[in-house]
Amino acid sequence: MFTVNPFAGLSATVTPAVMQTYLIVMIMLVAGGTLFDIVHKKSARYFFNNWRNAKSKGVRRIDGREMMSLAVPTALHDVLASGEFCNSQRRTAHLLTMYGFVAYVLTTIIMVFAYPTTDAATPAILPFLWWTGGLMVCVGGYWFWFFIRVDVVAEGNSPFRVVQADLFILSLLASTTLGLLWAYTQSAGIEIWSYILLALYLIATTVLFGSVPWSKFSHMFYKPAAAFQKRVEQANGSRRNLPPPADKPATLGSARRRPQHY
């Protein structure tokens, strides 16, 4: 099961052209939804305005070489290692979900476009990574949903309370979980449940990639830019972690006066 391409088995009832077209449509929905989100919420204008303000308020100029030296730790620490999370459990859950999702999506694309039928022998590593990525998403996502969310842990709300901000994580978990269940029932030869789960899998996946303007999906594209801007602001002096009086060491006793007794 873990070494069998589920999409090759699906080609007996759904042609590879249909599967490939569906993936292309999902990619277009993500790209279009992100652009719509940028234009509608004016995220790009806000980002560039902040960039210009930070540059004008900076106390020193950052050259291209220093920009590159700031980009490297941003990619390694803030993006690849999710260094923004101070809580170790939250960071672990985020990394599991992030890397699992990347492996899950990339192997899906490779198997659908390069090995869409049983005639083409799929390397066993691809379905293995597909299953591993999907399980990582489930572990990280359900861990976050039931045990780490702030409104559940700190505020005491029910883990089943749903708001619009939860659309991304819920649709991601639904798509991944249903995809794994569909692949299992297909490999086990349970045809009725296989077709039902396939339909639900497609619905959940369409919601995941089609709801970008209303979910937090596009935040994964904003966060690296915001993290890089923060490092640049700290480097050129336009971002201060302490109030202005605390930036200058006070002279001992300079603000004191001899007490007077009346």
Cα separation, 35 vs 41, whole angstroms: 10
In the chain, where are the structural domains located? 6-49+65-230
Does residue 168 register a pLDDT over 80?
Answer: yes
Give percent above pLDDT 70 in the chain.
79
Q: How confident is the model at residue 247 (pLDDT cuts 50, 70, 90)?
A: very low
Cα separation, 215 vs 212, whole angstroms: 5
170-210 pLDDT, tens per residue?
A: 999 999 999 999 999 999 999 999 999 999 999 999 999 99
Q: Looking at residue 133, what is its pLDDT?
A: 97
Mean pLDDT value across the chain: 82
Higher pLDDT, 72 or 235: 72
Give the containing element (helix H, strand E) for 195: helix 191-210
142-154 pLDDT, tens per residue?
A: 999 888 876 665 6
Cα separation, 135 vs 115, whole angstroms: 22
Q: What is the mean pLDDT of residues 222-226?
A: 71
Looking at domain 6-49+65-230, which CATH architecture does it have?
Answer: Up-down Bundle (1.20)
